[in-house]
Amino acid sequence: MRHNRKVRMNRLFGGGRCLDVAIDHGVCNEPSFLNGLEDMPTVVKTLVDAAPDAIQMNYGQADLLQDISGKDKPALVMRIDMGNPYNRIRHRDMWAVLQNETEPLIGALEMDAACVVVNLFMLPDEPDLFRQCVGNISRVRADCDRYGMPLMIEPLVMQPVTEKGGYMVDGDADKIVTLTRLAREMGADIVKADPTADPEEFHRVVEAARCPVLVRGGGKEDLRAVFDKSAALMRQGAMGMVYGRNIYQHANPSAVVRGLMAIVHKDAGGEEAFALYRQG
């Protein structure tokens, strides 16, 4: 890794690991994702006070984080693409585009982001969507090198929209490993990967990535199960997590962050993390 990119990586990975709280869901054009994100200034203030390592946002809301004074706030991870696979219906045209086609990194540089993130969608029978994602990554890779910006690639293997009403995580270890390997081959500095259905297989994803792997949270689940699974995935070699709905759609996001930070940075187990969460 070039030294200049390492400068931003150091901001992102406190103590070598990272909890990144994703609140970038406004570009998904999916109403259910916005539950809990209606009042963004309050959401950001709550999360800054909870002190995760990073907050993941889009350009148009990043000022809420970066206008806060002081040097101890979470790092900014900026999403620079958007797409339409998150709705409960299959669209006639499936697409994924960069938010700024001409200068995709300009907003991240302007807002002093520590990292940018781009999707790599693998949906059943949607080869053109996959090609668009490959094109997006190809477009930004050289710019990331030029400006010392770490590139987080998010390989997403999804089930057919007909299975569960919306493109849900597949969980097939072979598919996730294969797409993670593709992300690495294209130059990922960080991979944000779905958990394997069997957490004990996640080490294969870590091995394929050959760079830090952060686990994607996905839809809201029972919190105790989230903590147990998170601890198991960390034991398999993950370097942290990117969780959104399991934090911001919870009644007490700060308490969830406390539990997850213990798992990420102190190797806490699920039971210990849940006890920390219950302290309120």
**Per-residue confidence of the chain (280 residues) as pLDDT tens digits?**
555 889 999 999 988 999 999 999 999 999 999 999 999 999 999 999 999 999 999 999 999 999 999 889 999 999 999 999 888 788 889 999 999 999 999 999 999 999 999 999 999 888 999 999 999 999 999 999 999 999 999 999 988 766 665 557 889 999 999 999 999 999 999 999 999 999 999 999 999 999 999 999 877 889 999 999 999 999 999 999 999 999 999 999 999 999 999 999 999 999 999 999 999 7
Q: Which residues of 119-158 are buried (b: 16+ CB within 10 A; e: fewer)?
A: bbbbbeebeebbebbeebbebbbebbeeebbbbbbbbbbb
Q: Residue 246 in contact with residue 228, Cβ under 8 Å?
A: no
- What residue type is 29 in one-letter code? N
pLDDT of residue 71: 87
CA distances, 132 to each of 93, 127, 139 (Å): 12, 9, 10
pLDDT of residue 99: 97
pLDDT of residue 45: 97
Residues with Cβ < 8 Å from 222, sequence gap 6 or more? none
CA distance 102 to 172: 36
pLDDT of residue 140: 98
pTM: 0.95
CA distance 174 to 251: 36
pLDDT of residue 37: 97
Place of tokens 């004990």: 200
CA distance 50 to 59: 22
CA distance 236 to 246: 21
Long-range contact list for 274-277, CB < 8 A, 24+ apart? 274/223, 274/224, 274/227, 277/223, 277/227, 277/252
Of 184, 147, 205, 201, which is closest to residue 5 (Cα–Cα)?
A: 147
CA distance 265 to 160: 36
Architecture of domain 3-277: Alpha-Beta Barrel (3.20)
pLDDT of residue 203: 98
Domain ranges of the chain: 3-277
